[in-house]
A and B are shown apart, each in its own frame.
Chain A
Amino acid sequence: MSFAPGSVLWLLRHELRLAWYNASGGKDAGGKRGMGRLALGLMLLGWAVLHVGAWVVVDQLAGTPGDDPRILLAITALLAVATTFMLSSSIKASVLVMFERSDLDLLLSSPLPSRSIFTVRLAGVSAGTAALYLGLLAPFAHAGLLQGQWRWLGIYPGVIALAVLCSCAAMLLTLGLVRLLGARRTRVVAQVIGALAGALLVIGSQLHALLSKESQGRVRELFARAMLQVEETDHPLWLPARAMLGEPLPVALLAAFALVAFMLTARGTHRFFARGLQLAASAAPPTVARGAALRHRFGRSLFGAVVVKEWRLIVRDPQLLSQVLLQLLFLLPLFFVIFQRTDIQVQAIGAGLAVLCSSLTGALAWIALSAEDAPDLLLVSPASQAMLRRAKLAAAVMPVLALVALPLLWLIVRAPYAGLVACFVVCGAVVGAGLVVFWCGRPGVRSNFKGRGKGGFMMNMLELFNSLSWGALGWFLAAAVLGPLSNIGIVAILAGGLFAIVAPGTAWLLRQRRV
């Protein structure tokens, strides 16, 4: 095994180092390393606690036979969830490798063979994907080892094999998209697919709740029939679960399958990988048809000019827009749960909308206020900086209020008092979220939208606090107008109201001094 410069292992070490920097947050704008000693210490502490939990679980399952269909079903279900998330993170990692890393030109212009580069990239994606899940599941393997239950060691090869398979699928999908859609669209589409893959199972699990009682019965019947067909424990469906439980043959089969997939992907697609990168680098800029009229209007007020500019920048950035909207997708399960209970719908709609709108406003406000592309241009202009920031805040708030206007109107028609309460809490949540970012948002770059939390822990906490406070306030206020309220409800309203003021109030106290 050689780590000589230019060797595959040397390149792999470089790849893993970059993956670690990326995972640990790299450096912030001030050049400070993303993950400090405190964070690392907390992570290790959490890992130790996980080991304690794993010890208890492994101890309790000591006598359970490995071929128990219930255990196999539970592990298979767990693996299905993990696989969708693995696929999601693999797709995101392959997009990063293909489009966002700036070292590939250097590597491809070096005498290193492109196959080695691609193999190492694929290995890097696999390692990055496996690392998180090993972090979560390895404590079970360690607990098993200490308790003499060797079968739990199967977690290591099982997770690595699944991560490799997901990484191969993700890379092939990304390369396929480049061929099909071109490099520019692939970046956006792959990111959306990646996020959807992560959310799909969560949403899918809730869809069942939306079905009628009859449909639910039919689904259960179909599931039971399918289970009868696979109840034999040697059915291929159980292979990954049996591998996780350390059965030698399934472990060997899964590992061999992953190895073959890795080699075929690396060998068969490295040329296309290089070509895909060239396509990505030389992607033609998007243009509008030459005949199309140019829409611009000089002479807008300062406020109007800023608002229109912010909207244009957001609407024209599908990658950013998809990230903003996809975070709302993760809130949908909440609504699925709420809509199952007709008795709490009116309360829940107002509260849910408040949470949803607060989250959306926070995201848009961060983009407009904190992720300004040309801050110096604004600073050298004679425009009032306070006015500019107010216009940016308005640019973030207005679309959210426009978006929510129709559902609120529907609610007012259906239940006037509860509808008015919903209007109040939604407006409060939107303004509160906007003000938190207005006062506490730290400068960032748009491309780092997903990582914006790393730069502003306090802003994120206050945003969350704002959402939950207004959500709770909406719930209990609506309950109050719909019927008599218990003492707990009254206390909840008072507490919700107080906290709803505390969030922007704290942001004001912590507000940043600006030039």
Chain B
Amino acid sequence: MDDTLPALRLAGLRKHFGRPAVDGLDLSVRRGEFYALLGPNGAGKTTTLRLVTGLLAPDAGSVDVLGIDLAKAPAAAKAKMAYLPDEPMLYGKLKPFEYLEFVAGLWGVRAEDAEPRARELLDWLDLSQHAHELTEGFSRGMKQKLALAGALIHAPELLILDEPLTGLDAAAARQVKDLLLAHVANGGTVILTTHILEVAERLAQRIGIIRAGRLIAEGTLDELRARTQGGSLEDVFLQLTSTP
């Protein structure tokens, strides 16, 4: 595979729900990049991610994942990515290992790879001590961490997260952030949406800001600052999103 291909490329992506939710979005995320997608409420962030992961079909435009056209080869594209929505996709009546076993089955991960990786992830996320419990009794943070472990069990090249830190306490948020940084350090790509601008400021190499389904600004934090003469990312964000 060509290593110069972007991890994700969106071209002219459109989705209407009565009104345009995503309106001709063009976006490219490089391999090994930590990319933050920001925008005010209703800007189309979640819809964009759902289009990228195949949960929604676009009205127009294309989604390429690591050079694979999602519309033409959905299974091959999905095999290379993982999605973590803001509401964890879990089964309350399964225990952590059983959940990971099922997710590994969905992605066809071999037992010799899946089992040690499941142990490693649960250890890393401090969930091993809860391995005997059903996930229905887990706190919000524990559920989010387990869902993240599920997303990472097949070692995806592209990890897509929608508000992954919502509802997490400081310690859990730190664990998740460390895990995401480690994923990027190992050559993986992370795309996340967040309302916590400090997270984007500290973790993301590049930031894209969308409003009304369109990309209105993109670049490194310094590039965005230079463009707006702003101070913090919050100033930049507010300045860009409030401009008519």
A contact set with B: CB distance below 8 Å: 284-290, 292, 294, 296-302, 304-306, 308-309, 312-313, 316-317, 373-374, 376-384, 515
Contacts and interface: CB of A to CB of B under 8 A. Distances in A.
Contacts of B131: 294
Nearest to B131: A294
A286 B134 contact: yes
Nearest to B101: A296
Given A285-B137, A297-B101, A305-B101, A376 B85 contact: yes
Given A286-B137, A382-B78, A298 B115 contact: yes
B230 interface: no
Given A298-B111, A382-B108, A377 B89 contact: yes
B133 interface: yes
B53 A380 contact: yes
A374 B107 contact: no
A298 B118 CA distance: 10
A287 B83 CA distance: 29
B92 interface: yes
Contacts of B104: 298-299, 305
A309 B150 CA distance: 15
Contacts of B55: 376, 379-380, 515
Interface in B83-112: 83, 85, 89-95, 97-98, 100-112
A302 B105 contact: yes
B103 A377 contact: yes
Contact of A374 (B76, B91, B109): B91
B136 interface: yes
Given A298-B111, A309-B94, A515-B55, 10 more contacts: A285-B136, A285-B137, A287-B137, A288-B95, A288-B133, A298-B100, A300-B101, A305-B102, A308-B102, A373-B90
Nearest to B53: A380
B57 interface: yes
B56 to A, nearest CB: 8
Given A287-B133, A294-B97, A316-B93, A299 B110 contact: yes
Contact size range, B:
35 or more
Nearest 4 pairs of A and B residues by beta carbon: A285-B137, A299-B111, A305-B105, A381-B106
A196 to B, nearest CB: 24
B114 interface: yes
B98 A312 contact: yes
A380 B147 CA distance: 13
30 contacts: A285-B134, A285-B137, A286-B134, A287-B137, A288-B133, A294-B95, A298-B109, A298-B115, A299-B112, A300-B105, A302-B108, A305-B104, A305-B106, A313-B94, A373-B90, A373-B92, A374-B89, A377-B103, A377-B106, A377-B150, A379-B55, A380-B53, A380-B78, A381-B78, A381-B103, A381-B106, A382-B78, A382-B79, A382-B106, A382-B108
B134 A379 contact: no
B122 to A, nearest CB: 11
A389 B114 CA distance: 24
B43 to A, nearest CB: 21
Contacts of A383: 75, 106-108
Contacts of B53: 379-380
A301 B106 CA distance: 9
A313 B110 contact: no
B92 to A, nearest CB: 7
A374 B90 contact: yes
A234 B197 CA distance: 80
Nearest to A304: B105
A391 B100 CA distance: 18
A316 B135 CA distance: 12
Of listed B98, B103, B107, B133, residue having the most chain A CB within 10 A: B98
Nearest to A383: B106
A299 B132 contact: no
Given A285-B136, A298-B118, A316-B134, A382 B75 contact: yes
Given A285-B134, A286-B137, A381-B78, A309 B54 contact: no
A382 B107 contact: yes
Contact of A384 (B75, B76, B93): B75
A289 B85 CA distance: 32
A383 B109 CA distance: 12
B89 A376 contact: yes
B97 A296 contact: yes
Contact of A298 (B78, B94, B95, B101): B101
A315 B105 CA distance: 20
A499 to B, nearest CB: 37
Contacts of A297: 101, 111
Given A287-B133, A305-B105, A382-B75, A299 B93 contact: no
A304 B79 CA distance: 19
Contact of A299 (B90, B95, B106, B114): B114
A305 B85 CA distance: 23
A298 B106 contact: no
A145 B187 CA distance: 84
Contacts of A304: 105
Contacts of A306: 102, 105
Contacts of A292: 132
B148 to A, nearest CB: 13
Nearest to A376: B89
B230 to A, nearest CB: 36
Given A309-B102, A376-B85, A298 B114 contact: yes
A312 B108 contact: no
A358 B43 CA distance: 48
B113 to A, nearest CB: 8
